[in-house]
Amino acid sequence: MVKPMKKPTGFANLDLSNYWLPFTPNRRYKSAPIMLSSAEGMYYKTENGDKLLDGTAGLWCCNVGHGRRQIAEAVKNSLMQLDYASSFLVSHPQAFELSERLCDLAPDGFNRVFFTNSGSEAVDTALKIALAYHQARGEEQRTLFIGREKGYHGVNFGGTSVGGIDNNRKQFTKNLLNVDYLPHTLDIERNAFSRGLPEHGKEYAESLLKIINSHKASSIAAVIVEPVIGAGGVIPPPKGYLKRLREICDQHGILLIFDEVITAFGRVGNAFAAERFNVTPDIITIAKGLTSGTIPMGAVILKQKFYDAFMEGPEDTIEFFHGYTYSGHPSACAAALATLDIYENENLFQRTIDLSSIWEDALHSLKDLTRVKDIRNFGLLGGIDLSADTDTLGQIGYKVFRACLDKGVLVRGAGDSILLSPPLIIEEDQIDQIVTTLKTVIKELN
């Protein structure tokens, strides 16, 4: 039974029945609700007035920290000036300005942007672009997508299909797209407690050749991977793995999509993981850190060849029958532009690089705790696997999350893992607080 938080104050009279929370055991939540009421810098405040150090940047998104006035002002001004503008047939200057800024940040050759409202929509848009691109070039038989076990690509039908987390697919299996999966690269036997990129496992990329042999290369539209798996457990790629995937895709005319919804915007130390790993995909999806979580927004960033392939027909026909009411919403553009300014002015991507060895040392100081099976880190990402007993299997992460919360630290519990992704503005003493709290809580599990 979950211990309720201290007696609630501000929500004592709230009816909790109507709201269905996503990705949450609702009955458990409602028996012991956690209500956040405000946020500033590295901290949330709960309705009870407790301060919580944010070890997760909200949900991998609040990279510049909370309560940034500059973003709030930009959004306010944008709302007052242009509350809404459709992006079908009309537009507004900030959407163009943001596209240009994003292309300046993106790897060489990426110069087209398609806006969405979330990571899930960015992924589904990218998959549709891949299919339509092949069709436009006379390769309409390329319809198969290749995802990866443990991959997470959002919850729309395309993203659910290419996602490799069984729980997310099992209620929908009969309605999903035709997909095959690369094996994941988590190899604790050979790589336990790797610091940064693991040494072993480049050869997992060769599985793509096996998939190609069983399906025919010419039937495959695209491979989609997160450069570092996030929600599936924070799994950095083995050294050389992404490069090998790129080579194989190139040899067989297969598109490579990097889902950078988590890894972009400084999480791994550069604007994009593609740059950090020096591997250039064909298509990149982004969201989260794009607005530091303040206003929902996602995007697909592409090389010009995609755009050009669509521009062949008569000029007065729609080239791509796709888009959202809120694509390029003015408030979201304003939030994103202000967020990009903060990244730049505060040199936050470099800050990740500067902090990453401190972060790595701090996380790996938990290595000798009996329950700790593996620790993984890259940039300002961390994953800790814990061993559970038969009666707590799949629940240890939640137990640790809840116990850390009682001690004023927000971490993410997922199954029997703890996932960490603090805002990039984190200070050394706050890293220490996260790790010290985890140490106490994990020890108490024994």
Residue 123 makes CB contacts below 8 A (sequence gap 6+) with 153, 154, 156, 158, 159, 162, 224, 259, 261, 285
Q: Does 403 bind ligand PLP (CB under 6 A)?
A: no
* Alpha-carbon span 430 to 57, nearest angstrom: 13
- Nearest residue to ligand PLP, using CB? 119
Residues 6+ apart with CB under 8 A from 166: none
Q: Which is nearer to ligand PLP, 272 or 437 (CB)?
A: 272
Over the window 217 to 246, marking each residue x when it contacts ligand PLP by CB under 6 A and - when it does not, the resulting string is: ---------x---xx---------------
- Residue 425 within binding range of ligand PLP, rule CB under 6 A: no
Beta strands in 325-380 (DSSP E): 372-378
Residue from 150, 153, 267, 329 touching ligand PLP (CB under 6 A): that is 153
259 binds ligand PLP (CB under 6 A): yes
Q: Which residues contact 393 (CB under 8 A, 6 or more apart)?
A: 416
| Cβ–Cβ under 8 Å, residues 56 and 411 | yes
The Cα-based distances of 39 to 43, 49, 139, 157, 259 in angstroms read: 6, 11, 50, 33, 28
Euclidean distance between CA atoms 261 and 283, whole angstroms? 12
Query: Does 118 sit near ligand PLP (CB under 6 A)?
Result: yes
Q: Of 13-21, 113-121, 171-179, 194-202, which part binds ligand PLP (CB under 6 A)? A: 113-121
Smallest gap from residue 194 Cβ to ligand PLP (A): 21
Q: Which stretch binds ligand PLP (CB under 6 A): 114-122, 177-185, 270-278, 365-373?
A: 114-122
The CA distance from 175 to 172, in Å, is 6
Span of 10-18, 188-196, 259-267, 346-354 interacting with ligand PLP by CB under 6 A: 259-267
Minimum gap (Å) between residue 229 Cβ and ligand PLP: 8
With H, G, I as helix, E, B as strand and everything else as coil, classify residue 118.
coil
Q: Is 359 in the site for ligand PLP (CB under 6 A)?
A: no
User: Coil, strand or helix: which one is 420?
Assistant: strand
Is 287 a binding residue for ligand PLP by CB under 6 A? The answer is: yes
123 is a site residue for ligand PLP (CB under 6 A): yes
Determine the Cα–Cα distance for residues 416 and 391; give it in Å rounded to an integer.
Answer: 12
The yes or no reply on residue 124 touching ligand PLP (CB under 6 A) is no
Residue 154 lies near ligand PLP (rule: CB under 6 A): yes
Kindly state the smallest distance separating residue 73's Cβ from ligand PLP, in Å. Answer: 24
Pairing of strands 417-420, 51-54: unpaired
C-beta of 218: minimal distance to ligand PLP in Å?
A: 28
Contact 362, 432 (CB under 8 A): yes
Token reading at 274: 């593609």
Question: What DSSP character marks residue 429?
Answer: H
| 42, 126, 130, 262: which one binds ligand PLP (CB under 6 A) | 262
- Pick the closer one to ligand PLP by CB: 371 or 376: 376
Residue 345, Cβ density class (10 Å: 0-12 exposed, 13-18 middle, ≥19 buried): exposed
Residue 152 lies near ligand PLP (rule: CB under 6 A): yes
For ligand PLP, give the closer residue by CB, 57 or 362: 57
Q: By CB under 6 A, is residue 120 in contact with ligand PLP?
A: yes
Separation CA 28–CA 373 (nearest Å):
27
The piece of 28-36, 151-159, 319-327, 370-378 that touches ligand PLP (CB under 6 A) is: 151-159
Contact between 100 and 301 (Cβ < 8 Å): no
What's the CA gap between 420 and 397, in Å, rounded? 12
Counting residues that bind ligand PLP (by CB under 6 A) gives 15
Nearer to ligand PLP, 122 or 405 (CB): 122
198 binds ligand PLP (CB under 6 A): no
Residues in touch with ligand PLP (CB under 6 A): 60, 118-120, 123, 152-154, 226, 230-231, 259, 261-262, 287
